[in-house]
Amino acid sequence: MRNFKAVGSRLLQLALVLWAVVTILFLMFRLMPGNPMAAYIDPTFTLEQQQQLMAQFGLDKPLWQQYLIYLGNLLQGELGQSFRYREPVGDRIWTLLPNTLILTFSSLIVAYAFGILAGAYLAWRRGSWIEQAAIPLVLTTRAMPEFWLGMVLLAIFSFSLGWFPAGGTRAPGAEYSGFLDLYTSRDFFSHLVLPAATLAIYSQGLPLLLMRSNMLDVMKEDFVTMARIKGLSNWTVVVRHAARNALLPVMTSFAIAVGYQLQGNVVVESVFSWPGLGRELVNAVAASDYPLAQGAFLMIALVVILMNLLADMLYAILDPRVSHA
């Protein structure tokens, strides 16, 4: 019963956060100076035609009515009509979301797999020349701007060596029969490598340093000392005893990292012309297409909120001592 109350309380908090995000997004775009339809109203339009266009998108109503209509539409799953594409925002977002999620998860899986293994190894080799050389290198990659790192990889592996395409998700003129046909093709994978590598190189520093720090703390515990006294090999002590107990904060940070990675995707998708949610968000803001920009912002915020909830749940599952009361 206590767990149900904790989960209910947490869901209520997340619902309030989501409502606050929706409200801020609504006001932020509508209170910006200028007419949001200015880029789409032809100079030859008469005043009556301009008013009809404003009415078509519901911009002729008072702000509070627009807000209530917007909330009502959201509850029905409607995100509005894109000014730029003249199609439902939801359709546009669902078309681009798979590209963003594939890029996010592929880069994070690589980053965390490498970070966990390297962090455990560096903790085991603490004080060695390998650790002394690796830590500054890791901090350097973490400090690199993502757009700069992406351009360096493009210059080397695309423009100079020609190993990978410079952008997009498919070769020019390539046609695929369906969803799986595209996303399982070698063509798509070759386009994915450079943007995913950019995000993975930038992101691996967090799990690596976190794993190393946790390992150093765990290796001081009594049960690790007891394992050494029993004569167990270093591999067994490090992997089966120390690493398993040091993984908890690292694994829960993965869920949170998904949300933060979506923000980094905005830059990387623009550098590699990756047709994802982040790149579309930048284009929508530049084109004053605020229904599409709102929808993209809202989708990213929703993923961040859900990933935080998942992190809380995962932490409780992996460590039953944690209480959400």
Task: State residue 67's pLDDT score.
Answer: 79
Task: State residue 130's pLDDT score.
Answer: 82
- In contact, 37 and 1? CB cutoff 8 Å: no
Task: State residue 167's pLDDT score.
Answer: 77
- Per-residue pLDDT tens digits for 15-26: 788 888 888 877
Task: State residue 214's pLDDT score.
Answer: 78
Which residues have CB under 8 Å from 138's CB, separation 6+? 204, 205, 208, 209
**Spatial distance between the Cα atoms of 13 and 7, rounded to a whole number of angstroms:** 10
Task: State residue 325's pLDDT score.
Answer: 46
Task: State residue 213's pLDDT score.
Answer: 82
What parts of the chain have a pLDDT lower than 70? 1-8, 30-60, 173-174, 178-179, 219-245, 263-264, 314-325
- Per-residue pLDDT tens digits for 67-94: 787 787 778 777 777 777 778 888 888 8
Say what the pTM is. 0.77
The residue among 265, 261, 268 whose CA lies nearest residue 152 is 268
Domains and CATH numbers, the chain: 2-75 (no CATH), 92-318 (1.10.3720.10)
> 3-state class of 282 per DSSP?
helix
The residue among 258, 268, 316 whose CA lies nearest residue 106 is 258
Task: State residue 237's pLDDT score.
Answer: 66
Task: State residue 248's pLDDT score.
Answer: 74
Task: State residue 72's pLDDT score.
Answer: 78
- Dihedral sign for Cα 85, 259, 168, 186, please: negative
